[in-house]
């Protein structure tokens, strides 16, 4: 747990640094590391000590966007892979496919199917979560922004790897959840080690849902979010 800071960017930075400190001793040669995206995970990557694990690999756990500024899934996964000297695998698809059918078709591609297999077989996962406020990278995208009212009506409080969840951690009934190209929260449970790095009061409801559903095993957060979780 880190101190709460009034500046959201500074808060994400210190949470990322704390997550990096937790991750560092867990990394060994030969492990598979699955990573999400966002500012917090970018901060974690940038403070991780460089090593060389030639037998390890890194994979993104979700599709990406067509543009980014260091926080996209491809960029975050690449940075982690560079720092540990590992091969990197990408879910080379959009976060949300145009339809359920197009998602199914993409998953028949042998390369993408292999990456998703790796995403399910990793030993360590480092992920973040998003809320429904304008600061959320995912909520700010056009495809999600135009669906925010519907998501709220469906009971969504935020997302984990692009899957929108209610306050109990249950995926809500919304078309985006059937079109997301990502490891599912349920599949994330299979990771022996999984770290959720997120904080700030707006994220407390979705963090609570994720913990209630036991999708992750470890949490790195700040004092204000922790206090809200305990209430």
In a domain? residue 133 = yes
In a domain? residue 192 = yes
In a domain? residue 222 = yes
Structural domain boundaries, residue 61: 8-230
Rounded percentage of the chain residues whose pLDDT exceeds 90: 92
- Report the distance separating Cα 17 and Cα 223, nearest Å: 15
- Report the distance separating Cα 2 and Cα 129, nearest Å: 17
For residue 151, is pLDDT > 70? Answer: yes
Task: Please state the pTM of the whole predicted model.
Answer: 0.95
Q: What pLDDT sits at residue 157?
A: 98
Q: What pLDDT sits at residue 73?
A: 87
Q: What pLDDT sits at residue 36?
A: 96
Instruction: Kindly report, residue by residue over 164-182, the tens digit of the pLDDT.
Output: 999 999 999 999 999 999 9
Q: What pLDDT sits at residue 170?
A: 98
For residue 70, is pLDDT > 60? Answer: no
Q: What is the DSSP letter of 162?
A: T
Instruction: Kindly report, residue by residue over 186-230, the tens digit of the pLDDT.
Output: 999 999 999 999 999 999 999 999 999 999 999 999 999 999 999
In a domain? residue 142 = yes
In a domain? residue 3 = no
Question: 94 has which bridge partners?
Answer: 64
| Nearest CA among 84, 98, 106 for reference residue 35 | 84
Rounded percentage of the chain residues whose pLDDT exceeds 70: 97
Q: What pLDDT sits at residue 6?
A: 93
Q: What is the mean pLDDT of residues 115-125?
A: 96
In a domain? residue 1 = no
Of the two residues 70 and 10, the one the predictor is more confident about is 10
- Report the distance separating Cα 125 and Cα 144, nearest Å: 24
| Nearest CA among 37, 23, 38 for reference residue 83 | 23
| Nearest CA among 39, 38, 30, 75 for reference residue 57 | 30
Distance of CA 81 to the CA centre of its chain: 16
In a domain? residue 42 = yes
Cβ neighbours of 24 (radius 10 Å): 13
Q: How many domains does the chain have?
A: 1
In a domain? residue 2 = no
Of the two residues 192 and 73, the one the predictor is more confident about is 192
- Report the distance separating Cα 205 and Cα 228, nearest Å: 9
What's the Cα-to-Cα distance from 205 to each of 10, 59, 210, 228, rounded to whole Å? 21, 28, 9, 9
Check which CATH number belongs to the domain holding 64 and give it.
3.40.50.1360
**Helix H or strand E segment including 119:** helix 110-121
For residue 10, is pLDDT > 70? Answer: yes
């Amino acid at each position: 747990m880190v101190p709460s800071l009034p500046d959201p960017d500074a808060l994400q930075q210190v949470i990322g640094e704390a997550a990096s400190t937790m991750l560092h001793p867990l990394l060994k040669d030969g492990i598979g590391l699955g990573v999400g995206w966002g500012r917090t995970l970018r901060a974690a990557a940038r403070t991780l000590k460089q090593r060389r694990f030639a037998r390890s690999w890194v994979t993104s756990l979700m599709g990406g966007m067509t543009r980014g500024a260091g926080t996209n899934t491809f960029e975050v996964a690449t940075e982690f892979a560079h720092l540990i000297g590992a091969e990197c695998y990408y879910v080379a698809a959009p976060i949300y496919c145009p339809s359920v059918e197009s998602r199914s078709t993409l998953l028949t591609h042998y390369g993408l199917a292999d990456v998703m297999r790796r995403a399910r077989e990793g030993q360590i996962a480092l992920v973040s979560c998003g809320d429904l406020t304008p600061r959320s990278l995912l909520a700010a995208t056009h495809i999600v922004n135009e669906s925010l009212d519907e998501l709220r009506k469906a009971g969504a409080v935020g997302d984990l790897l692009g899957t929108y969840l209610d306050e109990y951690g249950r995926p809500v009934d919304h078309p985006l959840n059937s079109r997301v190209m990502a490891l599912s929260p349920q599949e994330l449970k299979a990771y022996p080690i999984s770290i959720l790095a997120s904080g700030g009061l707006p994220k407390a409801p979705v963090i609570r849902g994720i913990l209630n559903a036991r999708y992750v095993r470890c949490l790195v957060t700040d004092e204000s979010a922790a206090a809200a979780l305990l209430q």
